[in-house]
């Protein structure tokens, strides 16, 4: 039995069972869903960047066209005003004609390029792919639709049919460059982490080796001292000195060979 506590409301919840995936949700489907998450992430990023790209292009044409139209209206008003002389009115009339021609040219370019329609289509595709991505993540965590893969396929085809414009190749190349850069950064981070962990383990191993060597040397020194003390004690125990007569006798040789040797000190 597991128990969780909500961080804000501090509500205690007790879970008595263990969740099991349905039988129809196999491992192959889970792997496929992981691959589709990566693909949908790519599509959302590419289409959103494409929408921003075409929207900027549209404003580069739309804003000058509005300015030209406004200036043409002002010049047209001044060309019919009585507050200016005839020559100035003629100049304003010519200016109105030139600005109208430029405005018509800009509008023709805008209608041919269709930047506004492309931006709207890519933004709609990015929104639809983002919704599919959310649904896919929910389905991976708690699967409840056996035919979700078929529904996902139909949704992707429907989005592709609605968005008839290809994203710019520069944006696609930038996506792959960004992905490769992120992979390299991740590899560098993992390599640095492994080097740090290896250095730490090597230092610990060297420290332990040095400490074990020092310990073995001290033990050898203590054993040597104990051995020398033991030998000196045996030598003193084997020799008995008679203080009254000043005669010493070798007890070990007497016990071993049955012969007592005595000499005057």
Burial class (CB in 10 A: 0-12, 13-18, 19+), 167: buried
First to last CA, the chain: 91
- Asked if 231 and 216 touch (Cβ cutoff 8 Å), the reply is no
- Asked if 138 and 74 touch (Cβ cutoff 8 Å), the reply is no
Q: Is 67 helix (H, G, I), strand (E, B) or coil?
A: helix
Tell me the C-alpha distance between 200 and 16, whole Å. Answer: 43
Q: What is the mean pLDDT of residues 205-211?
A: 55
- pLDDT digit string (tens) for 166-193? 999 999 998 888 888 777 777 777 777 7
Tell me the C-alpha distance between 159 and 93, whole Å. Answer: 50
Tell me the C-alpha distance between 134 and 37, whole Å. Answer: 9
> Tokens standing for 248?
């010493």
The DSSP call for residue 8 is T
**Sign of the dihedral through C-alpha 209, 212, 216, 218:** positive
pTM of the predicted structure, to 2 decimals: 0.61
**Strand (E) or helix (H) holding 263:** strand 262-264
Q: Is 240 helix (H, G, I), strand (E, B) or coil?
A: strand
Tell me the C-alpha distance between 42 and 191, whole Å. Answer: 27
Helix axes 148-162, 27-79, angle to 10 degrees: 20
Between 131 and 254, residue with greater pLDDT: 131
- pLDDT digit string (tens) for 85-119? 888 888 888 888 898 889 888 888 888 889 999 99
* pLDDT above 50: residue 254: no
Max mean pLDDT among 147-151, 190-194, 208-212, 219-223 falls in 147-151
- pLDDT digit string (tens) for 122-170? 999 999 999 999 999 999 888 888 888 999 999 999 999 999 899 999 9
Tell me the C-alpha distance between 235 and 260, whole Å. Answer: 17
């Amino acid at each position: 039995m597991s128990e969780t506590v909500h961080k804000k409301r501090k509500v205690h919840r007790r879970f008595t069972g263990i969740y099991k995936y349905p039988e129809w949700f196999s491992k192959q489907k889970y792997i496929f869903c992981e691959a589709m998450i990566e693909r949908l992430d790519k599509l959302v990023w590419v289409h959103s960047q494409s929408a921003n790209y075409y929207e900027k292009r549209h404003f580069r044409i739309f804003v000058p066209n509005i300015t030209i139209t406004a200036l043409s209206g002002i010049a047209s008003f001044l060309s019919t005003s009585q507050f200016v002389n005839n020559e100035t009115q003629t100049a304003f009339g010519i200016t109105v004609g030139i600005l109208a021609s430029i405005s018509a040219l800009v509008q023709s370019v805008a209608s041919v390029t269709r930047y506004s329609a492309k931006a709207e289509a890519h933004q709609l595709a990015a929104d639809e792919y983002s919704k599919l991505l959310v649904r896919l993540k929910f389905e991976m965590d708690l699967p409840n639709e056996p035919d979700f893969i078929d529904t996902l396929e139909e949704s992707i085809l429907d989005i592709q049919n609605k968005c008839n414009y290809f994203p710019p190749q520069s944006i696609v190349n930038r996506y792959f460059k960004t992905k490769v850069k992120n992979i390299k950064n991740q590899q560098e981070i993992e390599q640095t982490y492994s080097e740090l962990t290896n250095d730490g383990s090597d230092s610990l191993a060297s420290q332990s080796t040095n400490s074990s060597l020092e310990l073995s040397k001290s033990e050898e020194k203590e054993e040597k001292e104990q051995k020398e003390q033991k030998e000196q004690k045996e030598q003193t125990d084997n020799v008995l000195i008679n203080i009254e007569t000043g005669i010493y006798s070798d007890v070990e040789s007497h016990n071993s060979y049955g012969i007592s040797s005595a000499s005057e000190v």
